[in-house]
Each structure stands twice: as structure tokens, then as C-alpha cells.
Amino acid sequence: MSALTRWSLVGATWLIILIVLILPPLLVLSEALRDGLLTALQTLADPDALSAIQLTVEMTILSVAINTVFGVLAAWTISKYRFPFRGVLVALIEIPISVSPVVAGLVWLLLFGSQGWWGAALDRYNIHIAFASPGILLATLFVTFPYVARTVLPLMEQQGRDAEDAAMLLGASFWQILWRVTLPDARWALLSGVLLTTARAMGEFGAVSVVSGHIPGMTETMPLHIETLYNGYQSVAAFTMAALLALMAMLTVGFRAMFENRARRMAKAGGMEA
């Protein structure tokens, strides 16, 4: 390859990177800091902003915890046992990845909205799911459902079940096997899946937007509050919140890249031992 070709390729790459990938985060920062750092930080101290941050953190922790437990169980079930229609289960787990976020919110309204199947019945018992935080949790659970299972599954399949069979012969119970034999080996993949779930959960907009009542201070998560601020012409506040949310998500994804490299290296080393 001639030097000219090489440098024009490099130049073109960096130009694309600059326009497509570097300008947007720069703009977020510059808009957030337009009136100075102090103003930006003050907008975060607004009670509605604080409540949005709190709700996002709560919803993220809950959905990550629940989906991690069930994701690991699902991956274990599918990879360690033989039973018919395992492929169908894998396909079902993958469905939410391809579903439009708006549809992911709508499905819960079809169940729990006032015109939904059970909405009116639950309303009689004063149980509110749509337009309240349980609805937000369900939407987030749906959207982030596949990530843990899908990251852990390939690794567990690769593990086979020799170690598990050996542990079983030694008299270990189900939980002992899962907790002490399978998971220690899969911990990097698990961590990677958990972090991916975290990043998705806190940034989800479309699905949550459909099931939330957009009530500031009550059912507004950070992404929804960003929209409210933006539509209310509070550009600095909107971009400050956006910067905070983007930073949280980018850190999470950054950690994941770090651990993933580590996991890859471990897998390589393991392969060499074998």
C-alpha cells in the first residue's frame, strides 16, 4: 500500500470519527457548561432532577438484580441440561433485542393499561402498574432481559459439564455446583453481561416513555426528564442531565470493555492450558 493511500485512509477515518463520534459528546459538554460549571451543577440540585436520578438508580438496580438472577438460571438451564426445544427458548430470550422500544412499552399497556386485559380489574384493587413505577420496571426488564443470559450462555456451553458432573459425584447440591463450580469460571462474562444490562437499563427512553405518566418528581426517569427539560426550553439543564447520564453509561460500557479484554485473555490462557 502506498503511503498516499495509507494516509488518505487514515485521514478519512479520522474525519468520519470526528464528525460522527467526537462532535456529539463535545456538544453535550459544551451546552451543559454554557453558563458555567456552577449553573450546571445547580440544575442537578433541582428536586425533580434529583428524583429522576433516584428513580433511574432504583429502576436500574432492581432490573439488573432480577435479570441477572434469572438470566444466569436460564443460561444454566439451557447449557447444562438436554431437553427438547432448547433452541426455541434461546430465540425467545433474544426477541426483546429486535423489538422497537416503543413496542416494548406498548405491550405492557395492552396488559395493564385501562383498556388492557387486566388494567381495569387491578384498578378496582387500587393496584396501578401502567403510568407508575411498576410499569417502568416491567418495561426496563423487558428491554434488558436478554443481555445477561446471552453473554453467559456461550461461555457456559463452552464449559461443557464435566466439572459439574464431577462435583455432583462428590455430592454437591445444585446451588453448590452453580455457585462454586460454574459461576467462578463464568464471572467475567457475567460481569460483562451485568454491566451491559446496567447501561441499557439506565438509558432506556422509548419503552419507559410509553408506560410512564411523565410526572416530574414521580415517574420521570433521567432520560424522560431530559426530554421534559428540552421541551421546556431549559437547554442547559437538559444537557447537564444528558452529560451526567451519558457519563454514567459510558463509564459502565468502558468498564465492560476492560473486563472483556481480561476475560478474553483468560479464555486464551485457559485454552493453552488445555
Partner 1 sequence: MRLMAEAIFSSLRRKSDPLPGFRLALFSTLLWIGLIVVLPITALVVRPWQEGLGAMTAALHDGRMFAALEVSFLTAFLAALINVPIGLLLTWTLVRVKLPGRRIVDALIDLPFAIPTAVTGITLATLYGPQGWLGKPLAHLGITVAYSTAGIVVALIFVGLPFIVRSVEPVLRDLPPELEEAAGLLGATSWQTVRRVVLPTMLPATVTGFGLAFARGIGEYGSVIFIAGNQPFRTEIAPLLVVVRLQEFDYAGATSIAFVLLAASSLCLAGVALLRRRVARGLITGID
Partner 2 sequence: MPSPSLRPLSRRAFLGSGLACAGAAVIGSSHPAHAATALLNLSYDPTRELYHEINPAFSSHWNPGRNGGSVVVRTSNGGSGAQARAVLEGAPADIVSLGLARDIDMLALKGLIAPDWQKRLPHNSTPFNSTIVFLVRKGNPKAIHDWPDLVRDTVKVVTPNPKTSGGARWNYLAAWGWALHRQGGTEANARQYLDALFRHVPVLDTGARGATTSFVQRGMGDVLIAWENETLLAARDLGPDQFDIVVPSLSILAEPPVALVDHNARTHGTTAVAQRYLEFLYTPEAQTIATKHYFRPTDAAVAGAGTHLFPAVKTFDIASLGGWADVQKKHFAPGGIFDQMYAPHG
Residues of this chain that interact with partner 2 (CB under 8 A) are: 48, 58-59, 62, 65-66, 69, 109, 113-114, 119, 123, 126, 128-134, 137, 173, 175-176, 179-181, 184, 213-219, 228, 231-233
CA Rg value for the chain: 23
Q: Which residues are CB-contacts of 168 (< 8 A; sequence separation ≥ 6)?
A: 177
Nearer to partner 1, 83 or 125 (CB): 83
* Lookup: cell for 124: 378496582
132-191: contacts with partner 1 (CB under 8 A):
138, 141-142, 145, 161, 164-165, 168, 173-175, 177-178
* Lookup: cell for 4: 498516499
d(C-alpha 167, C-alpha 175), whole Å: 11
d(C-alpha 182, C-alpha 178), whole Å: 5
Partner in contact with 137, chosen from partner 1, partner 2, none, beta carbon below 5 to 8 Å by kind? partner 2
Q: How many helices (H) and strands (E) does the chain have?
A: 14, 0
Can you list the alpha helix ranges (DSSP code H) found in 45-171?
47-80, 86-98, 101-112, 119-124, 133-159, 162-169
CA count, 13 A, side-chain hemisphere, 253: 11
Of 65, 34, 60, nearest to 208 by C-alpha is 60
Partner in contact with 62, chosen from partner 2, partner 1, none, beta carbon below 5 to 8 Å by kind? partner 2
207-246: contacts with partner 1 (CB under 8 A):
209-210, 222-224, 226-227, 230, 235, 238-239, 242, 245-246
Listed ranges 41-49, 79-87, 121-129, 186-194: which one lies at the site for partner 1 (CB under 8 A): 79-87
Partner in contact with 205, chosen from partner 1, partner 2, none, beta carbon below 5 to 8 Å by kind? partner 1
Residue from 5, 45, 233, 272 in contact with partner 1 (CB under 8 A): 5
Partner in contact with 199, chosen from partner 1, partner 2, none, beta carbon below 5 to 8 Å by kind? partner 1
Nearer to partner 2, 66 or 249 (CB): 66
